[in-house]
Amino acid sequence: MNAATLASADPVLALLNLSHSYGDRRVLDAFSLELRAGEIVGLLGPNGSGKSTIISLLAGLIPSRSGEFRVGGRRVEQAARELRERLGVVFQAASLDVRLSVRENLRLAAAMRGLMGRVGADRVELMLDAVRLVDRGDEVVGKLSGGMRRRIDIARALLHQPELLVLDEPSSGLDERSFRDLWATLLDLRDATGLAILVATHRPDEAEHCGRLIVLAGGRTVAELTPDALRARVDGDLVTLTVSADANDVAQRIASLGDSVQVVGDAVQLRCPPGAGPAVIPRIFQVLPVAPLEVALRRPSLADAFYSLTGEQLG
């Protein structure tokens, strides 16, 4: 499917003005989203930003009291079969029986989807191949790594061949190798099938894999942009000081040395024009009565840009 086709096609999923409250506490406020085939869209925000509420609404775990759900350009009810059939959902907590083998888990899930006999068995093998676990199919799930279990969760969610895969913090608890393997699998699935992927995450490295990010804070959409565009919100060099003195006092003393300064926890971050960082560092030591415990120079990250945009830290 080429870019022109993707741009002209109806969204696989559209959410319009979804809001949700727990009592008097509003946790999601007029959230909207369009997601097309082949797109990977990230919901980026810390705990409490509204990410899990969006996924719970999509999965039908909590009732929708306002807003619209649309699939293929048509409005549907929250619990409509058409919506459920188009979604595959992987929650943060694993949904596998650790006492069964990989194939047994998937065959049970296929049967629950009405995929019986040869059709179900063939679908299981197809998904084992898609997540690169054919050779581990007869092993007990409880003996496999967290990364492999996550890939089995994905295979389970895709048995009925949905158009959209929804992932809630998919790399939570994974080591770096498992993280890379997981995302290699997701990108392969997207490229092979045109699968749309919606991922809720607080990890900047995970957000880098998304073509578009919806930045959430306090249940509201703060911005919708690409990872590069988000990073561009914080241009230049970033000098981070770990200090033993009062961070606010340090920030005031060095404010004139750069474009902006902010206190992040026990650290002070000074933003300078691109390439100016190495020259600014010696001047910092000149103006501070007590030397910093540590000084680091780097380019701004997605986490820095998120903090600049929302005033909140990821994590």
- Summarised one tens digit per residue, pLDDT across range 241-268 is 999 989 999 999 999 999 889 898 889 9
- The yes-or-no verdict on residue 279 having pLDDT over 90 is yes
- The yes-or-no verdict on residue 137 having pLDDT over 50 is yes
Q: Tell me 232's DSSP state.
A: T
pLDDT tens-digit map of 68-89:
999 888 898 887 888 888 999 9
- Mean residue pLDDT of the chain comes to 90
> What's the pLDDT at 148?
92
**Residue 315 or 61, more confident:** 61
> What's the pLDDT at 315?
64
Q: Give every CB contact of residue 85 below 8 A, 6+ residues apart in sequence.
A: 160, 162
Average pLDDT, integer, range 122-134: 93
pLDDT band of residue 5 (cuts 50, 70, 90) is very low
Q: What is the CATH number of domain 235-299?
A: 3.30.70.980
Lowest mean pLDDT among 7-11, 183-187, 292-296, 304-308: 7-11
Q: CA angle, 243 as apex, 304 and 290 as ends, to 5°?
A: 140
Top CATH class, 3-230: alpha beta
Average pLDDT, integer, range 97-115: 94
Q: Where in the chain is the domain with CATH 3.40.50.300?
A: 3-230
The three-state DSSP-derived secondary structure of the chain is CCHHHHHHCCCCEEEEEEEEEECCEEEEEEEEEEECCCCEEEEECCCCCCHHHHHHHHHCCCCCCCCEEEECCEEECCCCHHHHHHEEEECCCCCCCCCCEHHHHHHHHHHHCCCCHHHHHHHHHHHHHHCCCHHHCCCEHHHCCHHHHHHHHHHHHCCCCCCEEEEECCCCCCCHHHHHHHHHHHHHHHHHHCCEEEEEECCHHHHCCCCEEEEEECCEEEEEECHHHHHCCCCCEEEEEECCCCHHHHHHHHHHHCCEEEEECCEEEEEECCCCHHHHHHHHHHHCCCCCCEEEEECCCHHHHHHHHHCCCCC
- The yes-or-no verdict on residue 104 having pLDDT over 90 is yes
Amino acid at 121: A
- The yes-or-no verdict on residue 288 having pLDDT over 50 is yes
- The yes-or-no verdict on residue 7 having pLDDT over 80 is no
The SS3 of residue 52 is: helix
pLDDT tens-digit map of 222-234:
999 999 998 888 7
Rounded to the nearest angstrom, the gap between the alpha carbon of residue 193 and the centroid of all alpha carbons in its chain is 20
* Percent with pLDDT over 70 in the chain: 97
Q: Where in the chain is the domain with CATH 3.30.70.980?
A: 235-299
Q: List Cβ<8 Å contacts ≥24 apart for 106-113.
A: 106/152, 106/155, 106/156, 106/159, 109/156, 109/159, 110/159, 113/159, 113/160
Lowest mean pLDDT among 122-126, 158-162, 174-178: 174-178
> What's the pLDDT at 6?
45
Average pLDDT, integer, range 48-67: 91
Number of helices followed by number of strands (H, E) in the chain:
12, 14
> What's the pLDDT at 4?
38
